[in-house]
Amino acid sequence: MKNDVKEILFSEEKIKEKVEELGKRISKDYSGKDIIVIGVLKGANIFLSDLIRKIDMSVTVDFIDVSSYGHSTESSGVVKINKDLDFSIEDRDILIVEDIIDSGLTLKYLLENLKSRKPKSIGICTLLDKPERRKVNIDVNYIGFKIPDEFIVGYGIDYAEKYRNLPYIASLKPEVYSK
Ligand code: IMP
Ligand code: MG
């Protein structure tokens, strides 16, 4: 698995520092509120697990599973809810936690869907952002790292369901995609 890595973009240490910084900002901004943190499965799972431990206030955690990718590296634009939220978000402050915003199509769909359930507020926190690839405009409140247009894996993020368990964020060798 590690042989497939081309370059490590963010080390475990770098990610840890960033997650702490985001947790502090979120704790400050939402101080006194009781938020629902919504992880977008599966990619945001590891990020969310680390992030909530750096949020110093009461939170409820929920997950939603949407898919738009299949096994290719391009967003299909077709979004399907595989697992919906367990809780009602009506009149609640919610914070969506994403792994990567790429074209933005997945999140746009998700936002429209969640808005229709009438939450009090919606915040968005993403670990990674690929601004060059954006096809729709989305206001993102918290961004870990901006990255160039390159396909990455690790720290929960996959290629064809693999590499999620790499502890760092890395790019893959081109030959991996032609296997
Ligand atoms: P979007 O709809 O194009 O914004 O894509 C959103 C989702 O595609 C992300 O939440 C990821 O799950 C996945 N994705 C986008 N870029 C990458 C990447 O570089 N590596 C792995 N998954 C990615
Ligand atoms: Mg995702």
Q: What is the pLDDT of residues 132-163, one digit of tens each?
A: 989 999 999 999 999 999 999 999 999 999 99
* Cα separation values, 6 from 48, 51, 162, Å: 26, 27, 15
C-beta 152 within 6 A of ligand 1: yes
44: pLDDT strictly greater than 70: yes
**Among residues of the chain, what percentage have pLDDT more than 70?**
94
Instruction: Identify the active-site residue in 102, 129, 139, 149.
Output: 102
Looking at the CA of 107, name the nearest ligand: 1
Q: What is the pLDDT of residue 77?
A: 64
- Look up residue 63 and give its two tokens: 């997950």
C-beta 50 within 6 A of ligand 1: no
Alpha helices per DSSP H over 11-75? 12-29, 45-52
| Residues pairing with 67 in the sheet | 80
Mean local confidence (pLDDT), 103-130: 95
Q: What is the pLDDT of residue 178?
A: 83
Nearest to 177 by CA among 149, 153, 157: 153
**Cα 34 to middle of ligand 1, angstroms:** 29
Which residues, including other chains, have CB under 8 Å from residue 179's CB and lie 6 or more apart?
Answer: none
Q: What is the pLDDT of residue 2?
A: 87
pTM of the model: 0.94
C-beta 163 within 6 A of ligand 1: no
Burial class (CB in 10 A: 0-12, 13-18, 19+), 2: exposed
Looking at the CA of 100, name the nearest ligand: 1
- Look up residue 69 and give its two tokens: 């990718």
71: pLDDT strictly greater than 60: no
C-beta 97 within 6 A of ligand 1: no
